[in-house]
Amino acid sequence: MTYQGFAGKILYVDLSSGQTKSEPLNSELVNKFVGGRGINHKLAYDMLPVEVDAFSPKNLIILGAGPFSGTLIPGCSELVATTKFPINNAMATASGAGKFSLMLKTSGYDHVVISGRAAGPVYLKIHDDDVVLCNAEDLWGRDSFDTVDELRKRHEPCSVIPIGQAGENLVKISVSQIDKGGTLGSGGLPAVMGSKNLKAIVAVEGTRGIGIADRQGLMKIIKELLARMTKWPGRDVLLNAGFSGEVSASQFATFPYDNWTKIDFNELNQEERNQLLALHAKCTKTLACPGCPMADKERIRICEGKYAGTTSYVSGMLLRRFGAENLEDAYGMSVKYADTLNRYGLCEINFDFLFSLMLHVFNKGIISKEDTGIDLTDDFDTRLKVAEMTAYRKGFGDVLADGILAAVGKLGRGIENYAVHIKGRSPHVEPRVIGLGTMPLTQLTDPRGAYPAGGGGPGYVPGKEPGQFARHGERMGIPKEALDRIVTTDDWNVGRFTRYSQDWYSLWDCLGMCLRAPVSRFYHIKTLAELYTSLTGFDTSPEELMKGAERAWNLHRLYNAKLGFGRKDDKPPGKWFKPLEGTDGKKYPLMDYYRTKVLKEGDLEGPLDDYYDERGWDKKTGLPTPQKLDELGLGDIV
């Protein structure tokens, strides 16, 4: 069967034997699971043994490009990667942007399933029917950016998913970046690749085109979208200053320890703001993914000062003090720090959480130099030293390399009472700062662990009025009956709304779209259904698309239920219920979204009940009911 919009094939690669094969994309997969995330989850459910460890040769790496990926539909360059992640041994799916999904589809593949373990270092090259394992001994030991540069020399035009030293050394808090820009696989995807002796995956530009069912209809919608996008005032900010924009340390990434020092753009005076913005504009070149009219990635090259010549690639940056005497030095240190972690392949969020936790208990005298081997201080050089130790599993770095649960387990002494995590992953957002919105609740309920992307929308920013949630809910396709229940004139139900935010996020991963706000703000569920119909020729409705996305989310939850995950794991860290002391001296207790009530332990059970109920899941176990599975057409699969 020939598919429009899809490349039409699944590629299977066995690293142990070196054998490869492909098979046609099954029509049932497309009809039930849309693409991308949905099909990845079905493949994982069918093929990934529950009992295998993340580092077992039997673990799979499944890559998926959605039907919109590689087309002219704006903002559609997303790739999804599914595996058992070593950070908590849960099956999960990560997404990242870049050229990989486009290159993969031009070679004729929508999905790649990688199994086994190579006898020595290799990289996988995919180019039409020429799918080969290439010797990578000369690349082993090189950082992720150098690896991309070298493979581009050999195979350009291409796209590369590399691993750095952290992946090679099976560091569980590792992450990769597609083409040095699109973050992919926080929680240890590079470590899984390293366990398979897989240094990189290279998709070379192929010779196959992507068919379109209704070219005129598709281009009409695309032109209308581009006209709106190019007129948006925020686009000029992105093109001139990049996604970092005001280069402020995000309030959402505030760390729950007393040693987290950052530069808050909002606390600077006007002269300091102007200085920082001018410096950032001077050093930054904005970058965009294929087919995207926005520029949410940046190449930053330090022009002056101690770190002149340092070049890094980021998709958002935290600016830190690092004890610097002036903003110029702080800026240079921040870029150098981000660059170092990216080259090693260390996840900045997870590494910073661990470092801050260890510094906290070190300062309290709970651990000492006997444990760490060095004096832990919150300065630039010490952070870089500990990063190196972690990437190479040297000394105390070996303790940090396995993540927060393993670290506190090895050290003991009650350190678990200070640890903040959800399913073994460090939270990305701090609810004591922004209130209990969809992002904190998504961190609790996402089968992947503490990951907030499924809770985007108005709740990303504190204090949005209910009308904005009503408008966003209608845009996401929440049925009118449900929307009228969930959003009132003066409030909204966080648990029930979160369910639909997650399905919306799931749909974008199924289609291959970037959900960052500068892109997603222009799309309505009706527009997505029209685009899907015009592209593929499959006449679909908004309701059918959302049902496919819901299937993907439910299948994810079901697989991890077989591993023992359930409601008992969707619990908030105890530290959330102790006020956070900010850099301004104020104390921030956990409160509801509109900050009208301080929340105590047990107060989150209600929102969780609402969430499970709205999903049609059992409130006691937090798992899909047989009735829900039958409704989704999954009863015969499970």
User: Is residue 133 in some structural domain?
Assistant: yes
User: Is residue 211 in some structural domain?
Assistant: no
**Domain residues for 307?**
236-344
Strand partners, 133: 124
73 and 148 housed in the same domain: yes
Complete DSSP assignment for 73-124: STT--EEEEEEEETTTTEEEEEEEESSHHHHHHHTT-SEEEEES--SS-EEE
Average pLDDT of the residues in 305-321:
81
442's CB contacts (< 8 A; 6+ apart) are: 451, 452, 453, 454, 455, 498, 501, 502
User: Is residue 467 in some structural domain?
Assistant: yes
> What token pair was written down for 311?
């070049």
pLDDT-based confidence at residue 263 (cuts at 50, 70, 90) = low
pLDDT-based confidence at residue 466 (cuts at 50, 70, 90) = very high
User: Is residue 468 in some structural domain?
Assistant: yes
pLDDT tens, residue by residue, 64-121 = 999 999 999 999 999 999 999 999 999 999 999 999 999 999 999 999 999 999 999 9
CA distance 360 to 125: 45
Q: Produce one character per residue of 260-275: b if its CB has 16 or more CB atoms within 10 Å, e if not.
A: bebbebeebeeeebeb
Query: What is the share, in percent, of the chain residues with pLDDT greater than 70?
Result: 95
Among 187, 204, 221, where does a domain finish?
Answer: 204
269 and 320 housed in the same domain: yes
169 and 244 housed in the same domain: no
User: Is residue 535 in some structural domain?
Assistant: no
CA distance 595 to 432: 10
Domain count, the chain: 3
Strand partners, 603: none
Among 344, 369, 388, where does a domain finish?
Answer: 344
Average pLDDT of the residues in 266-275:
76
Amino acid present at 291? G
Q: Tell which wins on pLDDT, 168 or 429.
A: 168
pLDDT tens, residue by residue, 504-525 = 999 999 999 998 888 999 999 9
Give the phi and the psi of residue 232 in degrees, each rounded to 5: -70, 125
Question: Which CATH number belongs to the domain containing residue 78 in this structure?
Answer: 3.60.9.10
First-residue to last-residue Cα distance in the chain: 27
Write a three-state SS string for 366-383: CCCHHHHCCCCCCCHHHH
CA distance 296 to 314: 9
pLDDT tens, residue by residue, 131-171 = 999 999 999 999 999 999 999 999 999 999 999 999 999 99
Confidence at residue 262, expressed as pLDDT on a 0 to 100 scale = 56
Reported pTM: 0.95
185 and 295 housed in the same domain: no
Whether residue 317 has pLDDT greater than 80? no
Q: Tell which wins on pLDDT, 315 or 87.
A: 87
